[in-house]
Structure 1
Amino acid sequence: MNKNTEYEKFAQEVYQGLLNDDGLTTEVKHNIKLQGKSSKHQIDVYWEYKFAGVNHKVAIECKNYNKKLSIGIIRNFYGVLSDVGNINGILVTTIGYQKGAKEFAEHHGINLIVLREPKSEDWEGRVKTIVTNVQAISQNAKKWFVQLDYGWCKNNLPEEKINSIEVKISGMNNEIGIYDSKENKVKSFLQLQDELPFNEEKLLDNEHFYEFENTFIKSENLGHIKIKGIQIKYDTVINKSQWVFDAEKTTKAILKNILTGEMKFIKESYT
């Protein structure tokens, strides 16, 4: 495939992506023939679609030149558009257009586009790189110690349970909780774990005691039992990660409308 054909296919891919982003499912075609009033014409890139009963046609002429395009090329393209009729024209190139070419194109409604690969100078005055550093801190509870209210237990549990109290609690951290006197859940074990204090100078073998008043825990074998607090032994885990977004590396092409000055950065997702 020669460089000119590669450039035409490049334009086809870019405009297919732009149409897809606009919600148009029409196919962008490469190297087709259109019948005009006097003859057939070769079109580098072409698409058409119907909207509200009206047929819209677009033809693109691709010029992979290393210099600015002259007015003669624009005139030739205008002749093709006029012969085909009822069609919009876009001319794309890599460098730019001479003054006369711009004036002629603007007068006749032809869009002039510079379509090329990005250059380092394209990022002047723009954000090119975003670096995000994330430090995620989590508390890993190793042991839970539930301190019962023995006075309450003595007065409320069966006499045969007082000498040897065995409390069974099981479930996920977000399921096990502490309750008020009306059996409303106050907090889950997961919330208690998440609220453990953080000391960056001591990450391992930490301890913390939560003290409660008039609070209960729900056991499997004895029902709701009043507690005085919960002691947790835990380690602190710190996970660090960095995410770097380099717009230059993810940009496939630069598309600039010469007549309006609008510039688009075409992402790799268009490929």
Structure 2
Amino acid sequence: MTKNTGKEYEKFVQSIYQAIIQSESLGLTDQQNIIVEIDKKLIDRNSIERQFDIYWEYTLAGHTYRSVIECKDYNSKISIDRIDGFIGKLNDIPGLRGIFASKKGYQSGANIKAQQHNIDLLIVREQNDTDWEDENGDPLLRKVNIGMTAIHPARITGFNMLLPKNTDPSKTGPIHGMNNEIFVFNDDTGEQYTLFDLQNMLLDHHKDENGVFEKEFKFKGKIKTPNLEILIVGYKVQYEIPEPTTQDILIDFSTKLLGVVEYLGQGKKSLVFDDHIKKM
């Protein structure tokens, strides 16, 4: 069994607090490049090097604020002895704001002692089911399953021009060009559209149908390509309408929830997402 050194929990708390500090919700948006450091060494008043699990500082109105977090990845509540040890380190380095983080909470004596020395007690943990309930116990939106259906345009497989009588087909030649370069002009209605447009227009003739079809349209008009113009009296079009494709998209908001911070002194908590923070 791998020994729990607590380093993974320290890195977890570091990532959560880095996200919180960078959040607009703390009102620190004027402070740039605030870095949350891990395993920070500071020299105390006795010139002794002291280690702190997490450290950061920032300057506001010419004053530098420094904070440290003691992290304990224990499976039981934090005892008063652990708080006493933290207080001792803080007393030797004036000007530090002390914060204690654990997963399981604190014994009553530890809670009282921390309050007496202005140490903020936090529970920093991964999410659980209660984080997806409001204050009344009603469930919050955690997952959204979206069913999407794509309706595809018709695919033209054949296009035959209907030419006026006495027209020599050999003189018209085959039409060439992209489907958005070949225009149909209907002189009877004044309509004009490309073969690309026709693919979508053909769908109007079918409701909930798919398969292979052929239609004939008669009118006086012309076909224009980039280098050719041909008089017509209509056209026949062969086309295929493919079946709609469906896709289910699952949006799981819980995958964006990095962790949860409970502020025991305030009776509140923050859900730290990868792109915002939700206070509850």
- TM-score, normalisation: structure 2: 0.69
Q: SS state of the match for residue 268, structure 2?
A: coil
Q: SS state of the match for residue 139, structure 1?
A: coil
Deviations 1:75-99 (A, max 9, x none): 5535544542333333211122456
Unaligned runs of 5+ in 1: 155-161
Larger displacement relative to structure 2 (128-137 or 83-92): 83-92
- Map 1:1-271 onto structure 2 (within 5 A): 2-19=4-21, 25-38=33-46, 39-50=48-59, 54-69=63-78, 73-74=82-83, 76-98=85-107, 110-124=119-133, 125-145=139-159, 147-148=161-162, 150=164, 162-164=167-169, 165-178=171-184, 186-197=192-203, 198-200=206-208, 202-208=209-215, 216-223=222-229, 225=231, 228=234, 231-248=237-254, 251-258=257-264, 259=266, 261-266=268-273
Counterpart residue type for residue 245 of structure 1? I
Q: Distance in 1 between matches of 2:178 and 2:123?
A: 60
Q: SS state of the match for residue 104, structure 2?
A: coil
Paired residues of 2:182 and 2:226 also in contact (CA < 8 A)? no
Q: SS state of the match for residue 37, structure 1?
A: coil
| TM-fit CA distance, 1:53 | 5.3
Q: Distance in 1 between matches of 2:231 and 2:180?
A: 19
| TM-fit CA distance, 1:141 | 1.2
Change (3 A) 1:61 1:185: farther
Deviations 1:225-270 (A, max 9, x none): 46646634222232222222334455443333332513214459xx
Q: Distance in 2 between matches of 1:253 and 1:236?
A: 46
Counterpart residue type for residue 33 of structure 1? K
Counterpart residue type for residue 73 of structure 2? N
Q: SS state of the match for residue 195, structure 1?
A: helix
Change (3 A) 1:116 1:73: same
Q: SS state of the match for residue 241, structure 1?
A: strand
Q: Whose helix fraction is larger, Structure 1's or Structure 2's?
A: 1
Q: SS state of the match for residue 237, structure 1?
A: coil
- TM-score, normalisation: structure 1: 0.71
Q: SS state of the match for residue 205, structure 1?
A: strand
| TM-fit CA distance, 1:102 | 5.3
Deviations 1:123-148 (A, max 9, x none): 34222222121111212413243545
Figure out how many residues of one structure are paired with residues of the other and give that number: 255
Paired residues of 1:255 and 1:266 also in contact (CA < 8 A)? no
Q: SS state of the match for residue 41, structure 2?
A: strand
Change (3 A) 1:163 1:173: closer
What percent identity do the matched residue pairs reach? 28
Flag the structure with more relative contact order, 1 or 2, with Cα contacts below 8 A and sequence separation at least 6: 1
Larger displacement relative to structure 2 (32-41 or 248-257): 248-257
Paired residues of 1:115 and 1:253 also in contact (CA < 8 A)? yes
Unaligned runs of 5+ in 2: 134-138, 276-280
Counterpart residue type for residue 211 of structure 2? L
Q: SS state of the match for residue 14, structure 1?
A: helix
Q: Distance in 1 between matches of 2:196 and 2:63?
A: 61
Q: SS state of the match for residue 84, structure 1?
A: coil
